[in-house]
Amino acid sequence: MSTIDWANLGFGYMKTDFNVRCYYRNGKWGEIEASDSEYIPLHIAATALHYGQEAFEGLKAFRGKDGQIRIFRLEDNALRMQSSSRGILMAEVPVDIFSNAVKKAVKLNERFVPPYGSGAALYIRPLLIGSGPQVGVRPAEEYLFLVFVTPVGPYFKAGFKPTPVMVTREFDRAAPQGTGNIKVGGNYAASLRAGVKAHALGYSAVLYLDPKEKKYIDECGPANFYGIKNNCYITPASSSILPSITNKSLMQLAEDMGLTIERRRVSFEELATFEEAGQCGTAAVISPIERIDDADNGTSFVYSKDGEPGPVSKNLYQKLRAIQYGDDVDPYGWITIVD
Ligand SMILES: *Cc1c(COP(=O)(O)O)cnc(C)c1O
């Protein structure tokens, strides 16, 4: 094959050769199996379908100049999926099963890992669902853990450019003591109406306020928020934010570049004081914010007037990408080489 146009890939699903699966039955996890089917046989009363027992992860593998394949922060994703399991009472996937399943899925689909220099990467999607039947509302007794991969293109086809985001008080994606801090599909279902509305109005995302008081910044739909001012990297702390592994990595890099890190509540008014702002997550690493429009009262906070990202965002973006592709050494132990 090798007829894939790597530079023009989008962020979508493409069939690869194999996915891997592992079942939890009778209180224990079974063997990791490879499958070439894109379908799963599922009981019609599976709890994932009726009561939302579903969690997922998203991480990437990158091919370096040396041809080696590097998976970024594999163990952190395994631990986060365990935290999601505890949040909605699903069986926890042990770290070694998670890691071996991901490595196997990458290895079996090696030919789909984009070449170095294309800007593309292999997106890895681990999924955990309650597969056992229940009609009463209670946790399933059987679970399916599966991992599929799909090559995805460079997020910024036209270069690393800022986009506008919008604030609205019309919708919440998570509740204060709800499931906003774990990576479950229900949060995404709850974000669809706001997300589709924002895209239709020309925004890249919705920036959510805290669901209780609507006074503080939470995060952007599928990405965390940060602001930069006075050589300080500031990112919100809140019980309804998903702990982004990209954000955690950027905090480490920012600290090592000499910035001060503040993880604390960020009031809506403080948006006026930032020199730069960005969204961060696995898909883009950083998506710089051009401006934030308050859709409810017409005010705006502008961070980029010339269509270019700020210097701190640019440095952080380049540094993290260099580690992911193996251009820079990884002093943090973030990379797992697939061999
Ligand atoms: C996955 C996710 C993020 C980004 O996390 P990364 O680990 O950086 O990819 C941010 N917010 C939400 C709600 C998410 O689900």
Rounded to the nearest whole angstrom, what is the distance from the C-alpha of residue 224 to the centroid of ligand 1?
Answer: 7
329 neighbors 294 (Cβ within 8 angstroms): no
Rounded alpha-carbon distances, angstroms, from residue 122 to 126, 154, 236: 13, 11, 29
Q: Judging by beta carbons within 10 Å of its beta carbon (0-12, 13-18, 19+), is residue 2 exposed, middle or buried? A: exposed
Regarding beta strands 232-236 and 224-229, do their DSSP bridges make them parallel or antiparallel, or are they unpaired? antiparallel
Q: Judging by beta carbons within 10 Å of its beta carbon (0-12, 13-18, 19+), is residue 52 exposed, middle or buried? A: middle
Would you say the CB of residue 57 lies under 6 angstroms from ligand 1? no
**pLDDT tens-digit series, residues 252-299:** 999 999 999 999 999 999 999 999 999 999 999 999 999 999 999 999
Please list, in sequence order, all residues whose beta carbon lies within 8 angstroms of the beta carbon of residue 3, skipping any fewer than 6 positions away: none
Model-wide pTM > 0.95: yes
Whose Cα sits closest to atom 3 in ligand 1? 223
Domains detected in the chain: 6-152 (3.30.470.10), 163-325 (3.20.10.10)
Would you say the CB of residue 185 lies under 6 angstroms from ligand 1? no
State what percent of residues in the chain have pLDDT above 90. Answer: 94
- In the annotation, is 183 catalytic? yes
In this predicted structure, what is the pLDDT of residue 129? 98
Average pLDDT over residues 21-39: 98
- Ligand 1 nearest-atom number relative to CA 282: 9
Would you say the CB of residue 244 lies under 6 angstroms from ligand 1? yes
Average pLDDT over residues 223-251: 98
Dist. CA 27–CA 34, nearest whole Å? 22
Report whether pLDDT(246) > 90.
Answer: yes
Average pLDDT over residues 213-234: 97
**pLDDT tens-digit series, residues 55-111:** 999 999 999 999 999 999 999 999 999 999 999 999 999 999 999 999 999 999 999
Which of the four pLDDT bands, split at 50, 70 and 90, describes residue 2? low
Whose Cα sits closest to atom 12 in ligand 1? 222
Average pLDDT over residues 302-326: 97
Report whether pLDDT(1) > 70.
Answer: no
**pLDDT tens-digit series, residues 88-98:** 999 999 999 99
Rounded to the nearest whole angstrom, what is the distance from the C-alpha of residue 242 to the centroid of ligand 1?
Answer: 6
Would you say the CB of residue 60 lies under 6 angstroms from ligand 1? no
Rounded to the nearest whole angstrom, what is the distance from the C-alpha of residue 243 to the centroid of ligand 1?
Answer: 7
Mutation pick for ligand 1 pocket among 179, 183, 251 (CB with most ligand atoms within 8 Å): 183
Task: Tell me the three state secondary structure of residue 84.
Answer: helix
**pLDDT tens-digit series, residues 140-168:** 999 999 999 999 998 777 778 999 999 99
Which of the four pLDDT bands, split at 50, 70 and 90, describes residue 116? very high
Residue whose tokens read 């079974």: 30
Whose Cα sits closest to atom 2 in ligand 1? 222
Whose Cα sits closest to atom 5 in ligand 1? 244
Task: Tell me the three state secondary structure of residue 131.
Answer: coil
Among residues 65, 183, 212, 314, the one annotated as catalytic is 183
Report whether pLDDT(10) > 60.
Answer: yes
Report whether pLDDT(32) > 90.
Answer: yes
In this predicted structure, what is the pLDDT of residue 154? 81
